[in-house]
Structure 1
């Protein structure tokens, strides 16, 4: 078997040494670059299976380097990000440009060894993604004008996603018209410190209102709610109104927030026949069992196709377990979301 070769791009000697040792000990062939310009030179001379790319570097920073990589030699890229507001914004920009995933640097260099398993898992998962799926998403379809009958009750669009999801969620939000009649709730696997910034970014790009989930937030039409990192997104009802309830990880789910938690809560609280549930790209099976339950109760259920999913894990499990009624390419899923707003 040919060894996978990885290029580590970081101006920090501490980070470089650690990543090189970790990856080499795992069996990967590793090269290093001290900044973006050196990285681009190496990429022009040799093809790499994957690049780990720091944001803050001299001469050419990580975001500028990523743009060049995607133009001249598309490659799998994992960004190395810090726990800061600015870094969160840069990370979302990098994901929109084609980066596969990101790794959060420990707040102290002493703690860097604590994320070894996470690094190796993300590297392994990234390496199985076909290069052709790295291309930047196409522009959003033209806005559809929806005529709303005031007598129509609000429905609920529930979306789950993991690796490869942020770009898709952004595209969905940008595609929704300002008068979209339903409430959209999204569970995107993401660290606690990032979801508020993710919601803020989406709100600035969208015609609908995008908010981070909070306790007692009322579900309203023309609204997108992003699950809060570190909490599960549940629902509750008061009279005829529906609200968000933030729930702790009492079931010891691996992902917090969890798609299954949102789907199961929706199945017990929301009117199932007014739900459109969707599983997008992601590793693992989070959401598959919850979608089975939603379908049993009469909800409409969709899963993204292998053709367009960056990682065909979560949607595959949702379909194979009987949860998803249809498997569609991503652009067709957007059309279904828009069409659901016209029912």
Structure 2
């Protein structure tokens, strides 16, 4: 007999609570054990209820979802899925929720009261199921939220930087991640020093409207520049380019430069952007030494692309360890290819990247 996953639904709308309850109650191994109308009510209910997963609306009166999330993580350490609108403020709050420890989020199709919530029915069910298995330990660890100071030697002149880059055959870092990814990216990118001598490409599974907020958040706390990738821009060292939600990130050589291509070609592995698509595009570049990193996430995206990268030669592969992955899916499947060079805890991945870069 399958273990029942017990869910607490938190939303200020009675209508939304009913819709979410109906969606989840139709699943044979999910049981809705209670509902709450705001964050304060949620904390009261948690004194007696013991859910396996909480779905939490972001915008609520009395106590909003962000404040409630912080309390839930501090007191109960439970997996929380945030439900958010696609407004600019909603996207920004969702990125904050990932920082505070939410496992994942779901975008409401049409605002706070979404009559068409059935459009994301499968996503709600899937994320509740996978969140019940998430590694919460890493979500309650404090994150670096300010720029770090470094003892590492940093390049002080353009000539020195250029000379070093030639020795290293123009390194390129490409990172793929999904569930738990925003926190993992924060762990890694905040530990990279300024004048980092390589471009960084990032695919984080996220819908349109959220990747720009993620990039802005990371840019504010990193020494390197972090931005949402734009079609046609040339790769620059020390810049991390995040694929826009809803678009694949590819590369195209233009003379001695490399330009980013953003397109809406076929969805791969259920995702656009897809890590496989990015890796496969990078594999066609012969003039770069590639460092491929696969971190926390459900599914297998990135593994096939890693195979293509390794076939092209001059590729070092790094995966996040099972111990720190919020969901040990993508790194596990990548490791099963037997092509991974190094496995590291998330807070050590930046050091491993720097080692292979030569810093």
TM-score using structure 2 length: 0.90
Correspondence for 2:4 = 3
Q: What's the offset of the Cα at 1:12?
A: 0.7
For 1:182 and 1:2, how far apart are their aligned partners in 2? 47
Secondary structure of the 1:228 match is coil
Structure 1 residues 74 and 253: alpha-carbon distance in aligned structure 2, compared to 1, 3 A threshold: closer
Given the alignment of the two structures, is residue 35 of structure 1 paired with residue 44 of structure 2, yes or no?
no
Between stretches 190-199 and 22-31, larger displacement belongs to 22-31
Correspondence for 1:121 = 126
Secondary structure of the 2:284 match is helix
Q: Is the 8 A contact 2:74 2:140 kept in 1?
A: no
Q: What are the superposed Cα offsets for residues 63-90 of structure 1, whole Å, 9 maximum, x if unpaired?
A: 0001111111111100010011101111
Q: What's the offset of the Cα at 1:268?
A: 0.6
Correspondence for 1:105 = 108
Aligned residues: 342
For 2:102 and 2:115, how far apart are their aligned partners in 1? 27
Correspondence for 1:46 = 49
User: Structure 1 stretches of 5 or more lacking a match?
Assistant: none
Structure 1 residues 340 and 123: alpha-carbon distance in aligned structure 2, compared to 1, 3 A threshold: same
Q: Is the 8 A contact 2:99 2:143 kept in 1?
A: no
Correspondence for 1:278 = 293
Correspondence for 1:132 = 137
Q: Is the 8 A contact 2:267 2:274 kept in 1?
A: no
For the aligned residues, what is the CA RMSD? Answer: 1.7
Q: What are the superposed Cα offsets for residues 235-278 of structure 1, whole Å, 9 maximum, x if unpaired?
A: 11111111101132236552100000110000012535x11101
Secondary structure of the 1:277 match is strand
Match of 2:162 among 150, 160, 163: 150
For 2:310 and 2:268, how far apart are their aligned partners in 1? 25
Correspondence for 2:180 = 164
Q: Is the 8 A contact 1:232 1:246 kept in 2?
A: yes
For 2:279 and 2:351, how far apart are their aligned partners in 1? 22
For 2:286 and 2:154, how far apart are their aligned partners in 1? 24
For 1:214 and 1:149, how far apart are their aligned partners in 2? 25
Q: What are the superposed Cα offsets for residues 152-203 of structure 1, whole Å, 9 maximum, x if unpaired?
A: 2241110000001011112222111112111111000010111112112211
Structure 1 residues 132 and 173: alpha-carbon distance in aligned structure 2, compared to 1, 3 A threshold: closer
4+ long deviations beyond 4 Å: none
Q: What's the offset of the Cα at 1:333?
A: 1.3
For 1:132 and 1:253, how far apart are their aligned partners in 2? 28
For 2:187 and 2:301, how far apart are their aligned partners in 1? 22
Given the alignment of the two structures, is residue 70 of structure 1 paired with residue 86 of structure 2, yes or no?
no
TM-score using structure 1 length: 0.95
